[in-house]
Amino acid sequence: MKYIINLILFFCVFQGNAQQKVICDSITKNPISFVAVTCPEQNIGFYNFENGYFQINKSITTYSFEHFSYKPKANLTINNLDTIFLSPKTTTIDEVFVSKRDKFISLKSLKYDNYFKSFPVTCISELVTFIQNKKNLSYFIDKISIPLNNSKFPNMEKINLKNYCRINIYKKNNLILEKIYESDVKIFNYTQKDKVSIDIKEENIVLDEKGIFIGLELIVLNPEIEKSRISPFLTSMESSNYFAKTYVKKSFDKKINDLYELNKATEHTLGNKHKNKNLNLALELELSY
């Protein structure tokens, strides 16, 4: 909550103390959208707009910039810069052993929980589910879908906000969450039931006994951040194919120890009758091997 209040106050200062900057590719000079802009001094962060632009508080001089496809820049003083250039990451292609995938498994989402059907993800945060294969086989993940519930607010007809989200995939790297995949940003309508889906067959991402984290992230670009949210459906049923545990994560946190168990976050509303439930994202997965 303190983080949200700080971010709202940060946006409020734009009214009379703002500068506009743009983030571009160092080679093509084209704008880059949805770059994570963090302020070490304030311990807050946000994303830039689709056109590459963002606003800063002139009283804060140092910012850091990070994008999955570009080399990060940390603690950069940008007062006298109109444009921030990021360099594309150089990717090395590891030797790939291609196996014939002739067996396919389609895992529909488990039944939604009757009592706690969905969970509101708000203000640059993410719901991440750790899944770990119960079988001795290693599966390739071909497709991931996350069904979304609709959200209702008072005076909903007066609110006209674009809402953005994406699916991220992480693996454990010691005590750090290492991002291994980031989907394109999806636009969704939070007044209607929807589904976020990604086809990642070409990414060769494996689900095995080590496990991976699948995250649904809300990306907020509008100062009216307190009105933005996404509500993925939850299930309390156990899959026969994988073990699952879900956590709440701030978008810019990378330490595993900073994750907060969803079950603890919902304890005060579940009551004694439901407190032992293991709530997780109601994932739909298509696997092959």
Contact indicator for 231, 191 with CB cutoff of 8 Å: no
- pLDDT tens column, 32-56: 999 999 887 777 788 999 999 998 8
Question: Would you say residue 87 has pLDDT above 60?
Answer: yes
Percentage, residues of the chain above pLDDT 90: 53
- pLDDT tens column, 277-286: 899 999 999 9
- Rounded to whole angstroms, how far apart are CA atoms 225 and 231? 15
Q: Where on the phi/psi map is residue 227: left (φ > 0), alpha (ψ -120 to 50), or beta?
A: alpha
Question: Would you say residue 287 has pLDDT above 80?
Answer: yes
Lowest mean pLDDT among 29-43, 53-67, 83-97, 180-194: 83-97
Contact indicator for 185, 217 with CB cutoff of 8 Å: no
Q: For 178, list phi and psi in degrees, rounded to 5.
A: -100, 120
**What DSSP assignment string belongs to 177-211?**
EEEEEEPPPEEE-TTS-EEEEEE-GGGT-EE-TT-
Question: Would you say residue 5 has pLDDT above 50?
Answer: no
- Rounded to whole angstroms, how far apart are CA atoms 264 and 272? 13
Lowest mean pLDDT among 74-83, 95-104, 160-169, 234-243: 95-104
- pLDDT tens column, 110-156: 999 988 889 888 877 899 999 999 988 899 999 999 999 987 655 55
Q: Where on the phi/psi map is residue 232: left (φ > 0), alpha (ψ -120 to 50), or beta?
A: beta
